[in-house]
Chains A and B, each alone.
Chain A
Amino acid sequence: MSTQHNQRAISLHLASERPSSPEADPGAGTTPAAIIELEGVSVCLGGRTILQEVTFNIRPGEFIAVLGPNGAGKSTLLKVLLGLIKPSAGRVRIFGQAPRRGNQLIGYAPQHRTLEGALSLRARDLVGFGLDGHRWGPGWFISGRRRRQAIIEEALAEVDALELADMPVALLSGGEQQRLLIAQALLSQPRLLLLDEPLSNLDISHEQEIIALIARLCRARGMTVLLVSHDVNPLLPVIDRVLYLARGHAAIGRPEQVITSSTLSALYGAPVEVVEALGRLFVVGVDI
């Protein structure tokens, strides 16, 4: 596994385009301070404890896989970071500040479902939401329309989807739609990218494409990525660490440290066996 871990898909051809964000960036230039800090964070929703005293730090530029069984609080964790859910206890810091809605430094693509009404929406319209979808007014009379289209096309090109620009979103495949959502999330030049199950509903070849794309963006932009997934195997070559959630608790570390029988048994509070077979890791013994 450790040899696989070194086959990191690093592509540096975009390094010159690394955005210079005018906003707060405590990590730049100095020693890499934590970009995300959680200290004893608990979340209760509808009387149910989703997260319980979760503590971890994530450094700038890390590619983290967020793993765990259904209902372990993976999506909830992302929503806490986005300021959409308030923790009932504990302290959360992102870029040294409390989470808040509308933070331009965070790009977010939620768990994807096909949109019924998306027939009359072109790819470029969907991606454009990331640029000015939150602004008031129709945006029909703004002066920088050409510049706006240029920015959108640049983002489309970055995810290899420029040819899809004028296609109706509803006609695109799951992998293509996922590319658009990533492009949309990239438009505010975020320093942190939160992706909720971007690999679900993708066949293997598209899964590999999306993973390579995200890894490239992460390394080229020095962007921190939290990617929620139910399977760590396709991600093992590219990630730095895994954040494993189960029963409201969290374990973080390199895959070979966390995805072990002893760590996961402690996390689940039940005997769990990690089996390596056919070059893949399998977690057995619990309902995952």
Chain B
Amino acid sequence: MSSLFSLLSYPFIQNAFLAGTCIAIVAAVTGYFLLLRGLTFAGHALPNIGFAGAAGAVLLGLDPLLGLLAFTIGAAIGIGLLGRNLRERDLAIGILMTFALALGLLFLSLYNGYAERVYSILFGTILGISRLDVLLSFGVSLLILASILLLFRPLLFSSYDPEVAAARGVPVRLLAIAFLVLVALTIAIAVQIVGALLVFTLLVGPAATAGRLALRPATVILLAVLLGLLYTWLGILLAVISGTIPVSFFIAFLSFVVYLPVRFGIGGFRRQRPASSPISRQASAN
């Protein structure tokens, strides 16, 4: 136990906790809207596309985060422009994603050097998170949260009912693109700890579970943030204790283990309705 405390006193582990906290909060909030807008596949594809950018940047001798940011934001704008036809959009995203993964593979095979930076982009690491990374995560998180707060009502409205929202004067398409850029930024800061392959866990897991437990949008978001924090803190702690297993495994594992009983067990109360609403009474009288 005392050795655990001495482990936690290491600056890089404290940095992982601080950055992880920012990431968990932002990922849960953007993840809620991602689910609402039926963009979960985009949430899966964006980090993979970002991986290609990161690999390309490594090949060119640039910071992989720059390449990741360029590719995810570019793809986010592209997906936002694709419009609302779900089936066509997901097809286009799928083809774009596999192409990006192929590019990433090409960049990796062309790169002769030590590819550890690329692997850490793929799987994440709690090692080597600097104080600067923490500050960067904090700043970007504040920016994302402030933007979501500003866009909150029109974003919620257009997520549920884009047609009426457009008729009421909400700039629906612009909002769709702005939101996906915020998702791209979220992914960019989250990748350093959870990695491109498992960012999806933090984006979708907490919001999916919270959406089955709470009724009001604000409550769902709050619950998603709490779950995200729980997964991230516990995940980092377990990764520190285990020493070799990456944190992304533990976060994904916890997310799965909590979602499972919520999906199939409790949450059944949601399917009940009051015994006699006036309308159902009328209907049965007819």
Contact = CB atoms under 8 A, between A and B. Distances in A.
A135 B169 CA distance: 10
A135 B154 contact: yes
B152 A139 contact: yes
B160 A126 contact: yes
Q: Give the size category of B's interface with A.
A: 35 or more
A161 interface: yes
B156 interface: yes
A168 B219 CA distance: 13
Given A117-B36, A134-B153, A164-B277, A106 B270 contact: no
B217 A120 contact: yes
B85 interface: no
B52 to A, nearest CB: 30
Interface stretch (A22-30, A107-115, A232-240, A255-263): A107-115
B278 A125 contact: no
A184 interface: yes
A136 B38 CA distance: 22
A133 interface: yes
Nearest to A135: B153
B157 A129 contact: yes
A137 B279 contact: no
A229 to B, nearest CB: 18
A137 B217 contact: no
Contact of A161 (B150, B217, B270, B279): B279
Contacts of B283: 205-206
A117 B161 CA distance: 11
Contacts of B108: none
Given A110-B164, A120-B216, A167-B273, A136 B279 contact: no
Given A108-B164, A118-B160, A122-B215, A136 B153 contact: yes
A67 B274 CA distance: 37
Interface in B263-286: 270-271, 273-274, 277-279, 282-283, 286
Contact of B153 (A109, A133, A163, A166): A133
B220 interface: yes
A175 B149 CA distance: 33
B153 A117 contact: no
B217 A84 contact: no
Interface string B202-221: 00000000011011111010
Nearest to B162: A110
B219 to A, nearest CB: 8
A134 B168 contact: yes
B63 interface: no
B153 A171 contact: no
B169 to A, nearest CB: 2
Contact of A184 (B164, B216, B286): B164
Contact of B215 (A101, A133, A168, A181): A168
Contacts of A179: 279
Contacts of B38: 116-117
Nearest to B154: A134
B167 interface: yes
Nearest to A176: B279
B170 A134 contact: yes
Contacts of A161: 279
Interface residues of A, number: 50
Nearest to B285: A205
A119 B153 contact: no
A174 to B, nearest CB: 11
Contacts of A39: none
Nearest to B169: A102
A168 B270 contact: yes
Interface string A135-147: 1111110000000
B91 interface: no
Contacts of B143: none
A129 B190 CA distance: 32
B70 interface: no
A134 B153 CA distance: 6
Interface string B144-184: 00000111111011011101111111100000000000000
Given A109-B164, A132-B153, A121 B217 contact: yes
Interface centre among A122, A138, A185, A188 (most CB of B within 10 A): A138
Contacts of B164: 108-110, 129-130, 181, 184-185
B35 interface: yes
B157 A133 contact: yes
Instruction: List 9 tightest A-B contacts by C-beta distance, closest first.
Output: A102-B169, A133-B157, A138-B152, A205-B286, A110-B163, A134-B168, A82-B167, A101-B169, A117-B36
22 contacts: A82-B167, A84-B167, A101-B167, A102-B168, A115-B161, A117-B36, A117-B38, A118-B160, A119-B211, A120-B211, A120-B214, A122-B216, A129-B160, A133-B157, A134-B153, A134-B170, A137-B150, A160-B279, A164-B279, A176-B279, A205-B286, A209-B279
Given A133-B170, A136-B151, 17 more contacts: A110-B161, A110-B164, A115-B161, A117-B35, A120-B211, A129-B164, A134-B165, A135-B153, A136-B154, A137-B149, A137-B152, A139-B152, A160-B278, A163-B278, A176-B277, A185-B164, A188-B168
